[in-house]
């Protein structure tokens, strides 16, 4: 499924206005939306340096030119994108946007990309993309004839204009590397790549079906992992515990109990949060799984029969969103773990508001306050992200050898110990 901020009118929920209720004019509805958003989200608009007065004037003028329901839908969608808010969008509408699908599925080319400094590399290529000669670690020189980094920046801006909300630049570029490669089934895309020998080649891909544009998380996870829900767990080749959290369900504390019991005693744990799409759970209950039973630590108390009390390295990327950010962030901010990542998290974690326009045509959602206001020295998460203790760029040579740079670094830290005066927690030694 496409992320909520990329959902087209085809997937938008449809509701009916109350009987006898006359829809307001497009100008009146934009006036209402821009006024309410300007008042309710004033603090975040200021933090993000968005000139809402200019946005309001621009969209009121555009609303006066609206002629069809599809035009109005597209205009409201673009307005919500201007909030630079990964949670903002149309929740319900009595009108439909334009149908661009023509009966086609929305799909990717079975390729994911990754940014390493100014270089664009293939992060993964699978099925027929791999058969066509694309593989992890190849440098992407051009996409559809355009320099690869320029293409990604252009795509991120295009996605924003078309109605995709991003809370930070890192989230927009991360999304362009995956969702930005997707389009309607049957459409082509050309990658010009260079491999480790310096040889260049051009590979044309036809987008050919399947939800293959969503990233999984780890580049190359440890082998023979078990699964609980969407979470995976096991041990690395070096004997450290490993858990990848793909989402944050309400049952996460119970899932952690199950995974930690099966992992057993290990000298250290890697908690991999990459590509975590969020959700919602009792954060204190999650934290309690990493304290000895009865142990007090700040806001938290250990309550698990099978806790992990040793050192933890948390891994993040720009795909960690919403509740994924608050869960990952609390381990760093509250001194329980050392955090590494190739970038800060997505920066889309907030308290939301929902409003319905006069006449009931549109119900929209948008952020009004950042979550975890104590994070980032009182700045919260929204529009910033959770910043790792240590930025660890992915190494192209690791990609070529099917090695995960972040997991390698996490193991090094667990073996050698964390830098001094970074992580407060010094729990009992693992047996």
pLDDT means over runs of 10, the chain (431 residues): 35 36 82 97 95 97 95 95 95 89 91 94 92 95 98 94 89 95 96 92 90 85 97 97 98 98 97 97 97 94 94 97 97 97 96 94 96 89 96 95 97 96 82 39
Q: Give the model confidence (pLDDT) of 14-23 as tens digits.
A: 333 344 455 6
pLDDT of residue 215: 84
b/e string for 336-350 if b means 16 or more Cβ within 10 A? bbbbbbbbbbbbbbb
pLDDT of residue 23: 66
b/e string for 36-53 if b means 16 or more Cβ within 10 A? bbeebbeebbeebebebe
- The rounded distance, in Å, linking the Cα atoms of 268 and 291 is 14
pLDDT of residue 18: 43
Domain 106-206 has CATH 3.40.50.300: no
pLDDT of residue 13: 31
pLDDT of residue 131: 94
> Do the beta carbons of residue 266 and residue 430 sit within 8 Å?
yes
User: How is the chain split into domains, by residue range?
Assistant: 4-93, 106-206, 226-349+372-413
Structure tokens at 383: 């529009």
pLDDT of residue 17: 38
Q: From 3.40.640.10, 3.50.50.60, 3.90.226.10, 3.30.70.1060, which CATH number describes the 226-349+372-413 domain?
A: 3.90.226.10
pLDDT of residue 45: 96
pLDDT of residue 12: 33
């Amino acid at each position: 499924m496409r992320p909520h901020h990329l959902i087209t009118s085809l997937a938008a929920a449809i509701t009916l206005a109350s009987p006898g209720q006359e829809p307001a004019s497009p100008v009146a509805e934009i006036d209402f939306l821009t006024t309410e958003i300007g008042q309710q989200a004033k603090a975040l608009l200021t933090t993000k340096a968005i000139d809402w007065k200019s946005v309001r004037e621009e969209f009121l003028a555009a609303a006066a030119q609206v002629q069809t329901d599809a035009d109005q839908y597209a205009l409201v969608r673009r307005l919500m994108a201007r909030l630079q808010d990964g949670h903002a969008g149309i929740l319900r509408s009595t009108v439909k946007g334009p149908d661009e699908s023509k009966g086609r599925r929305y799909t990717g080319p079975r390729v994911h990309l990754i940014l390493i400094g100014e270089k664009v590399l293939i992060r993964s290529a699978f099925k027929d993309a791999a058969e066509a000669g694309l593989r992890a670690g190849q440098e992407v020189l051009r996409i559809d004839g355009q320099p690869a980094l320029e293409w990604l920046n252009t795509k991120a801006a295009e996605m924003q204009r078309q109605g995709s909300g991003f809370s930070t630049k890192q989230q927009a570029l991360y999304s362009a590397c995956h969702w930005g490669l997707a389009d309607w089934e049957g459409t082509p895309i050309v990658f010009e790549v260079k491999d480790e020998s310096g040889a260049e080649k051009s590979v044309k891909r036809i987008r050919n079906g399947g939800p293959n544009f969503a990233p999984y998380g780890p580049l190359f996870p440890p082998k023979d992992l078990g699964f609980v829900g969407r979470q995976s767990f096991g041990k690395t080749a070096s004997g450290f515990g490993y858990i990848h959290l793909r989402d944050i369900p309400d049952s996460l504390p119970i899932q952690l109990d199950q995974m930690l019991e099966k992992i057993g005693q290990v000298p250290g744990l890697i908690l991999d949060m990459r590509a975590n799409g969020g959700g919602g759970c009792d954060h204190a209950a999650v934290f309690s799984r990493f304290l000895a039973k009865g142990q007090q630590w700040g806001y938290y108390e250990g309550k698990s029969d099978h806790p992990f009390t040793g050192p933890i390295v948390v891994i993040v990327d720009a795909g960690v969103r919403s509740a994924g950010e608050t869960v990952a962030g609390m381990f760093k901010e509250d001194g329980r773990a050392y955090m590494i990542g190739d970038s800060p998290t997505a920066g889309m974690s907030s308290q939301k508001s929902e409003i319905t326009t006069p006449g009931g045509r549109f119900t929209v959602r948008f952020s009004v306050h950042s979550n975890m206001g104590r994070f980032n020295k009182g700045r919260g998460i929204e529009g910033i992200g959770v910043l790792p203790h240590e930025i660890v760029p992915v190494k192209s040579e690791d990609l070529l050898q099917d090695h995960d740079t972040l997991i390698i670094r996490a193991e090094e830290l667990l073996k050698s110990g964390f830098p001094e005066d970074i992580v407060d927690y010094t729990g009992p030694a693992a047996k």
